[in-house]
Amino acid sequence: MNAALAIDNLSVVYDQFHALKDVDITVERGESFGLVGESGSGKSTLLRAVAGLAPVSGGTIHIDGEALRGSKRSKAFYRRVQMVFQDPYGSLHPRQTIDRLLLEPLAIHGIADGERRIARALDEVGLGNGFRFRYPHQLSGGQRQRVAIARALIVEPSILLLDEPTSALDASVQAEVLNLLEQIRRDRKLTFVMVSHDLGVITHMCDRLAVMRNGAVVERLSSEELAKGLVQADYTRNLMIASKGFVKA
Ligand SMILES: Nc1ncnc2c1ncn2[C@@H]1O[C@H](COP(=O)(O)OP(=O)(O)OP(=O)(O)O)[C@@H](O)[C@H]1O
């Protein structure tokens, strides 16, 4: 069976700068895969390249066995791969009600049955219908992130790309949103690729992970191996030491 996501030899070059160099990553269907690495190592660029938001200079991305070369994406592809960002303000237009924000992706993809889908998506992220006519600034940070998740889910993707989805939230709200995401992944049999600088979050949420440095993968391992300190690269060990509250390497 085809992997949900197979990235082969992926490169992204901005001017002369190689933000990603020959990256290979395979994520199985229903798997939750983590990306860690220091700031500037290329984690967001990798998600953005998969989402069609960064220019692909070389290599291939397969989604459900379908090869995508370059940065061209069909509408159907955009529907299949949805992204949730760290700061929901970035993706939620401040002058649109939650209702409008949820209708927009449905309109883009020509999906009917908006009423039912909006009610379902809001319910799924733990927000009632009462939130429909509020604006983003009338919500808490956690509620805004729930709306961003609902907006991604409403078009029924198969892969969710999560770029530091909880790092802008308070600790208790972080845990709530992470638990919600895990519940959604199980219920919808979704595939996740998640970036976090917090190794505790990655080991809690992900089955396997890749460690990135300077645009390349330095190590691939399971969360269990990371939690036990069974790591190969000194760079990974240093990330463990630097990650607050994480087991000492
Ligand atoms: N649009 C762009 N134009 C030029 N350089 C870029 C662009 N986007 C990213 N870069 C560069 O690519 C490198 C990787 O950036 P990226 O955002 O992927 O890192 P990251 O690992 O996600 O970092 P962080 O943890 O700080 O978010 C950085 O050096 C960054 O400056």
Q: Is residue 73 part of a domain?
A: yes
Q: Once rounded to an integer, what is the mean pLDDT over residues 74-101?
A: 85
Residue bearing the CA closest to ligand 1, atom 3:
14
Quick one: residue 83, left, alpha or beta (phi over 0 = left, psi -120 to 50 = alpha)?
A: beta
Amino acid at residue number 121: A
Domain count, the chain: 1
Let me know: does 206 contact 27? Beta carbons within 8 Å: no
Tell me the helices (H) and strands (E) count for the chain, helix number first.
10, 10
Q: How confident is the model at residue 88 (pLDDT cuts 50, 70, 90)?
A: low
Residues 20 and 12: their CA atoms lie apart, in Å, by 5
Residue with tokens 């609902």, as numbered in its chain: 150
pLDDT for the residue 179: 96
What tokens appear for 110 in the block?
């020509």
Residue 2's pLDDT is what?
Answer: 83
Domain assignment of residue 188, yes or no: yes
Considering the domain boundaries, does residue 248 fall inside one? no
Instruction: Note whether residue 145 is domain-resident.
Output: yes
pLDDT (average), residues 116-120: 95
Tell me, what's the ipTM? 0.96
What's the pLDDT at 247?
59
Q: Which domain holds residue 215?
A: 5-242
Sign of CA dihedral 43, 44, 49, 55: negative
Write down the mean pLDDT value for the chain: 92
**Is 111's pLDDT higher than 90?**
yes
Is position 249 within any domain?
no
**Residue 37 CB less than 6 A away from ligand 1:** yes
**In the structure encoding, which two tokens stand for residue 39, read together?**
């700031």
Q: For residue 247, is it within any domain?
A: no
pLDDT at 93: 85
pLDDT average, residue stretch 100-106: 95
The verdict on the CB of residue 213 being under 6 Å from ligand 1 is no
**What pLDDT score was predicted for residue 225?**
96
Q: Which of 187, 184, 191, 118 is nearest to 161 (CA)?
A: 191
Task: For residue 30, give the CATH number of its domain.
Answer: 3.40.50.300
Please indicate, yes or no, if residue 228 is contained in any of the structural domains. yes
**pLDDT of 19-75, one tens digit each?**
999 999 999 999 999 999 999 999 999 999 999 889 999 999 999 888 876 556 677
User: Which of 10, 11, 17, 53 for a ligand 1 pocket mutation test, highest count of atoms within 8 Å of Cβ?
Assistant: 17
Q: 């992900």: which residue's tokens?
A: 206
Residues 6+ away with beta carbon under 8 Å from 86? 163, 164, 165, 167, 168
CA distance 202 to 19: 22
pTM: 0.94
Tokens of 58: 């070389």
Q: How many CB atoms lie within 10 A of CB 243?
A: 19
Q: At residue 245, does pLDDT exceed 60?
A: yes
